[in-house]
Amino acid sequence: MRRFLFLAIWVGLTLCNGWMLASAQPGNGLAKTPPMGWNSWNHFGCDINENIIKEMADAMVNSGMKDAGYTYINIDDCWMDTVRDAQGRLQADPKRFPHGIKWLADYVHSKGLKLGIYSSAGTKTCAGYPASLDHEEIDAKTFASWGVDYLKYDNCYNQGRPLIERYRAMQQALAHCGRSIVFSICEWGLENPWEWAPQLGNLWRTTGDIRDSWESVMSILDQQVGLDKYAGPGHWNDPDMLEVGNGGMTTTEYRAHFSLWCILAAPLIAGNDLRNMSPETKEILTNGDMIAVDQDPLGKEGYKLQDNGDEEIWVKEMSDGSRVVLFLNRGTQTAFMTTNAEQIGLPQAPHYRLRNLWSHKESQTAWLIRGFVPPHGVLVFRVWPLSNG
């Protein structure tokens, strides 16, 4: 009898524990590494239609972006009709998307890619279209029936209703919609989302909207300090989508923007027109050495090691024991910057192997890691300890 009682208590505790863990995680098993893809907003705003989205899927494949790891083709705001259908379902704008979203999802899937869509935890989207507050279940089911793989969920027209409740309602609806859908929370970093969003979503915006300027990238960067401990496989800080290739920054600045997002283990969601990329833009977005930093399976976000005003050093720990070190020069003069193997967290070793992640050149060092960093630019090395020569 006593044994039976022990067994019953043990089974009870185990089940309860399992349930508590399950309810504390989005538990959808998605986004083990930061999501990679493209989104319509940064370049096109509301000026979208099914041809643009279709051509972007084609360009994703033809440009080599798909081979580099980009998967999601995400439609942002302004895809909906101004009214729901007779059954209360969201429907696509018949002029912009005459074939509907399911047709588009089928096309995107036929290219080996995935489709993302957008709504808001409010009565309207930011651009004023119908949104999902109090329609979570029907909308999640509709998205699932279309074959949607990713939902960006904004915060406009929220009626001042409690934030976590609104995002939890959609998380629950997605969990029961019958399809695996990445949940991208977009509440602009207002109420410390890093503290509650890891339990609900796969990624959460940490700031307001990015703009295509160096000042915007630096301001967003400053708001990431201290957030690294909240990120990990399945749940990521989102410093917003990329502006690389949109024309407002120099190639050096775009390289820095992209490198910083990789150090931050940020979602890499391109925001440019993939149909006509310059060779420089393509080289940045498809740099496999940098993408490997972002996509490292350990899922550790990088952190700021040193800040001397215009000169910053950022470090990211990698799953193979190496470290990535990024020298950032925010100033307007070339800087000579230095650190060493110990400072970036590597064990003592006779030598270290260095790989410059932009020139792809390799070298060795006994201890120091250093180099010239251009104004508004970065120098990035991956560093491995070597046991001999």
> Contact, 167 vs 193, CB < 8 A?
no
Residue range at the interface with ligand GLA (CB under 6 A); choices 14-22, 48-56, 120-128, 218-226: 120-128
Q: What is the 3-state secondary structure (H, E, C) of 297-355?
A: CCCCCCEEEEEECCEEEEEEECCCCCEEEEEEECCCCCEEEEEECCCCCCCCCCEEEEE
Interacting positions 41-100 with ligand GLA (CB under 6 A): 41, 76-77
Active-site residue, from 134, 209, 289, 310:
209
93 among known catalytic residues = no
Residue range at the interface with ligand GLA (CB under 6 A); choices 125-133, 193-201, 335-343, 362-370: 125-133
- Structure tokens given for 52: 């643009």
Interacting positions 193-212 with ligand GLA (CB under 6 A): 209
| Nearest distance in Å: CB 188, ligand GLA | 6
Active-site residue, from 76, 77, 139, 154:
154
77 vs 149 by CB, closer to ligand GLA: 77
> Contact, 370 vs 337, CB < 8 A?
yes
271 vs 299 by CB, closer to ligand GLA: 271
How many whole angstroms separate alpha carbon 81 and alpha carbon 142?
Answer: 14
How many whole angstroms separate alpha carbon 144 and alpha carbon 367?
Answer: 53
According to DSSP, the residues that pair with 311 across neighbouring strands are: 308, 329
149 vs 312 by CB, closer to ligand GLA: 149
Q: Residue for token digits 């070597």?
A: 386
143 vs 314 by CB, closer to ligand GLA: 143
**Residues touching ligand GLA, count (CB under 6 A):** 10
In this structure, the number of other CB atoms found within 10 A of the CB of residue 178 comes to: 11
**Residue 173-192 contact track with ligand GLA, rule CB under 6 A, x = bound:** -------------x-x----
118 vs 254 by CB, closer to ligand GLA: 118
Burial class from Cβ neighbours inside 10 Å (0-12, 13-18, 19+) for residue 141 reads middle
Interacting positions 257-286 with ligand GLA (CB under 6 A): none
Burial class from Cβ neighbours inside 10 Å (0-12, 13-18, 19+) for residue 353 reads middle
209 among known catalytic residues = yes
Residue range at the interface with ligand GLA (CB under 6 A); choices 56-64, 123-131, 308-316, 324-332: 123-131
> Which three-class secondary structure state does DSSP give residue 185?
strand
Residues annotated as catalytic (active site), given as ranges: 154, 209
Residues of the shown chain interacting with ligand GLA in the complex, contacts defined by CB under 6 A: 41, 76-77, 125-127, 154, 186, 188, 209
